[in-house]
Every structure is written in structure tokens, then in C-alpha cells.
Amino acid sequence: MNDYWIAPSILSADFARLGEEASAVLEGGADMIHFDVMDNHYVPNLTIGPLVCKALRQHGIVAPIDVHLMVKPVDRLIADFIDAGADIISFHPEASEHVDRSLQIIREGGAKSGLVLNPATSLNWLQHLLDKVDLILLMSVNPGFSGQEFIDSTLDKISEAREIIDTAGRPIRLEVDGGVKIQNIGSIAKAGADTFVSGSAVFGTNDYAATITAMRKAITDSCS
């Protein structure tokens, strides 16, 4: 895999052709599939569950599937997504009664664990958990919908999170989700992110390969 991972969010894909859409972004150079799970309770929208994750595997998707849980409660769905073939499972700490336990359930199931911090959620959540997370996902929009504008104050938060990760010396991925596009992905990378979710800015274009290539070039240009 590349050093910088691009993870198109299938929330913006054509759901009637989901398998083809997932294959198309991967053929276009994406590193993994970002899979947004919304429950109409933790967030005001309703999307897809483990059955759809399993269907993508059965369709032949072998790339990592990065499951972003926007659900409350969290724990029961973790096992379902592991059975369905998820590689990374992230959740919002506000949505879990016992965050440490939820992280452990993910790892014990054999998946990589991720903690998702909303724009207004403090990085302090990480303080006692750094040894239990494989990925930190910083939301650069409020969760619930694709197509929202990137919140600029996230850039400083990315730099702070990068410092925390580097100081700890742990192999934790730093992912950013919301409003990521060709025009801002360079500055997001420069601030310290290494993993980029992008929904509408990928699936809203006609040529996925060209878009992903342009994103990768923007990252390299601003980080070299």
C-alpha cells in the first residue's frame, strides 16, 4: 500500500451499483473503502449495515474496508462487522459507555481499532487510550452527511494530533473525514494527516482515476 491512503466514502456512491462503484474507485487507485454506518439516533441519517459490508466482500472487494460507526450503542455491531469482513472499525467515544472496552472488542476480533473525534470533541480523549488505537479519525465536518464544507480549524487539530502520535512513537494512522477534495488535501496532508476520506469529491466526478491521481499529486506536492 501507499504511505498516504485515500479512502473514498461510498456514502456518495450510486447505491444501486455499489459493488461496481467500489471496484471502480479501487481500480482508480484508492487504497481502501470508507464505509459510513449511520443509525438515525447518534446521527440524523440512516445508511448501511453489516449485510452490505458482506455483500461487498462477496462481490470480490479484497481491499481493506474502513468501517466508520456513527451508531449508539456501539459494541454489539462490532462483532457483526468483524464477521462481515471489516478490517478497520472506528467509533465515536461519546457513543460508547465504555470506550476502552469497545476498543478491546475490536482488536480481540482481529480488526484494527479507531477512535473518531468530532469537530468539537477534545484530543484529550486520547490520553489514556493511545496503546489501544490503531487509527485516529478526525472529523472535519459534523457527522451525518456527505457534501459538507471542510471546517478549517481542523488543520490545527490535525497538527496537534500528529504531535501526540509522534511523541508517543506509535504506528497510529491519522485519518481526516469530511469535505476533503483536490483543493485542500495538500494542506490536510501537510498538517500531518496520512489517511484521507473523500466522498462527494471522488464519486461526484466522472473520472475516479483522474481525481484520485490529482489528490495523490496534491499530497506529494505539498509534502515534498
Rounded to whole angstroms, how far apart are CA atoms 153 and 190? 14
Q: Does position 11 bind ligand DX5 by CB under 6 A?
A: yes
Q: Does position 181 bind Zn ion by CB under 5 A?
A: no
Q: Least distance from C-beta 11 to ligand DX5, angstroms?
A: 4
User: Residue 152: which residues within 8 A CB-CB, separation 6 or more?
Assistant: none
Helix axes 208-223, 182-191, angle to 10 degrees: 40
Stretch that binds ligand DX5, among 21-29, 102-110, 119-127, 178-186 (CB under 6 A): 178-186
Q: Does position 198 bind ligand DX5 by CB under 6 A?
A: yes
**Locus of grid cell 484508492:** 30
Rounded to whole angstroms, how far apart are CA atoms 176 and 57? 25
Q: Does position 34 bind ligand DX5 by CB under 6 A?
A: yes
Rounded to whole angstroms, how far apart are CA atoms 69 and 77? 9
Residue 12: name its binding partner from ligand DX5, Zn ion, none (Cβ under 5 to 8 Å by kind).
ligand DX5
Q: Does position 36 bind Zn ion by CB under 5 A?
A: yes
Q: Least distance from C-beta 192 to ligand DX5, angstroms?
A: 19
Q: Least distance from C-beta 158 to ligand DX5, angstroms?
A: 16
Closest CA to 192 of 218, 217, 155: 155
DSSP 41: S
Task: Measure the CA dihedral 22/181/67/94, to 10°.
Answer: -160
Residue nearest to ligand DX5 (CB): 199
Q: Least distance from C-beta 43 to ligand DX5, angstroms?
A: 7
Residue 146: name its binding partner from ligand DX5, Zn ion, none (Cβ under 5 to 8 Å by kind).
ligand DX5
DSSP bridge partners of 65 = 33
Chain centre to alpha carbon of residue 29: 17
Q: Does position 36 bind ligand DX5 by CB under 6 A?
A: yes
Q: Which residues bind ligand DX5 (CB under 6 A)?
A: 9, 11-12, 34, 36, 68, 141, 143-144, 146-148, 177-180, 197-201
Q: Catalytic amino acids? A: 36, 177
